[in-house]
Structure 1
Amino acid sequence: MNKAFFMSFGILVFSSFSPEAQAQIGTETGAGDVQIKLLATYVIPDGKITKVKLDNVGLPMNSQTKANDNVVPTIVVEYFAADNISIETIAGVTQHDVDGVDGFAGAEAVSNAKIIPATLTVKYHFGDGKGFKPYVGAGPSYFLFLGEKSGATTKTLGANKVKLDDSLGFALQTGFDLPLNENGLSMSLDAKRYFLKTDASWFVGNNKVLETRHKLDPWVISAGVAYRF
């Protein structure tokens, strides 16, 4: 489903991106504009263990984990502080499980972890404000974790509660907006790479029995429509 979505999007992009089409739909844009985007977002996290900080449950040797991918809707709000410079924030929630690989293969460590990836990026847009608009951006992110539960396997080890620490990180971004008409409607493709880690702690009652550090560093790929006014 994910491959089909992005292939269809790519075909539409290239069929629309001709000099004649762009000459007809290019419009002047500038400082003070606001752009709203509605996107389908493919979240591809890492999730591997980089450090075992506490182990009172007898974690198997060479245990390793991986977080599952997810596709979610995302809303983007962007303000143009100058003709080629904008400030962007996103709104969305993604949900992931963390499962075992390698020496921990088939195990479920964390279930139903919901993440709010609060992100603020400053973007530079190339070109003269007309037609095809590529950009790059960067900025801080803060991941808030909600509703996480101990996985089936860690429960069997006696750990019936888990907590993922909220985490401050950094995001790099690139993408483009492709105008579809003269009224501010565009097609948008965006890619972000986040860099952050979180500590996961498992408890028996109120006693911490296991703590691991996890590398998240997700790729976040989005495609959809934008309206600028």
Structure 2
Amino acid sequence: MTKSHQQHKILALAAAAFGLLGAASAVQAQQQQTATAEGPWLVRARVVHLDSANKDSTGLNLAINNKAIPEVDISYFFTPNWAAELILTYPQKHDLKAGGNKIGSLKHLPPTLSLQYHFAPSATFRPYVGAGINYTRFSSVNFDPAVQAALAPSIKKNSYGLSLQAGADIEIAKNLYLNVDIKKVKIDTDVSSKGSKVGSFKVDPVLFGIGLGMRF
């Protein structure tokens, strides 16, 4: 191969490399432009099934009922891939049981703040994972009069715990998405009788959600 042919080959390879770089840059710019055009906010409304672990160390076999609850979450995208999500609902009422028998009721309010990574921010199918922290406030704790008279029970009102999340947004129209989501959240409380701690009760629910989201 002559020196001239070698130079032509080098120039051709360089041109091809620059072409590939240019194409990659164009794709990246298009993805960023698409994400930007959608806007940084995503608001979802979900129906969520709460499935409690009901782990109890008091010996009373405490449990709360599983139920479907409404949920709203607000996400803000810092970049096409990274977002923060705040999950909100109103205080949810549950029956409190011991050994299968209802002994009272309570409400809990469980807002959760998560940091998410979205794997395919410009695709039709957009899976993500997230991790965050949950704060739960127990309120309106009421025990049956006989239980109250015999045990004088009480529970700690505040719970802090980690949450893990996986889900996907599926584009069904411009800026409109079907969402499926699953979370595992750590929620627990100390249980006391006549002022002395007798154990802990772990709700630690798995939350299965489905809903719609709008990007703007």
Which TM class, normalised by the smaller chain length?
A: 0.7 to 0.9
The residue number in structure 1 matching 2:210 is 223
The residue type equivalent to 1:157 in the other structure is A
> Runs of 5+ in structure 2 lacking a partner?
1-32
* Local SS of the residue matching 1:83: coil
The residue number in structure 2 matching 1:190 is 181
* Separation (CA, whole Å) in 2 of partners of 1:45 and 1:128: 32
Residue 29 of structure 1 deviates from its aligned partner by 1.9
Aligned positions, number: 182
Residue 226 of structure 1 deviates from its aligned partner by 0.4
- Deviation track 1:115-154 (CA, whole Å, cap 9, x = no partner) reads 1112110000012422110000001111111111114662
* Local SS of the residue matching 1:82: coil
- Sequence identity percentage: 26
Residues 133-212 of structure 1: matches in 2 within 5 Å? Answer: 133-151=126-144, 154-155=147-148, 157-159=150-152, 162-182=154-174, 184-202=175-193, 207-208=194-195, 211-212=198-199
Residue 80 of structure 1 deviates from its aligned partner by 0.3
**The one of 76, 82, 86 aligned to 1:79:** 76
* Separation (CA, whole Å) in 1 of partners of 2:61 and 2:111: 27
* Separation (CA, whole Å) in 2 of partners of 1:44 and 1:82: 33
The residue number in structure 2 matching 1:57 is none
Cα distance change, pair 218–153 in 1 and its aligned pair in 2 (3 A): farther
**The one of 34, 46, 50 aligned to 1:28:** 34
The residue number in structure 2 matching 1:64 is 61
The residue type equivalent to 1:144 in the other structure is R
> Runs of 5+ in structure 1 lacking a partner?
1-26, 53-61
**The one of 102, 114, 123 aligned to 1:108:** 102
* Local SS of the residue matching 2:173: coil
Cα distance change, pair 151–209 in 1 and its aligned pair in 2 (3 A): farther
Contact 1:29 1:130 in 2 (8 A): no
Cα distance change, pair 217–132 in 1 and its aligned pair in 2 (3 A): same
Q: Which is higher, the Rg of structure 1 or of structure 2? A: 2
Contact 1:185 1:227 in 2 (8 A): yes
Structure ranking higher in helix proportion: 2
- Deviation track 1:79-110 (CA, whole Å, cap 9, x = no partner) reads 0011101000011132212212xxxx233244
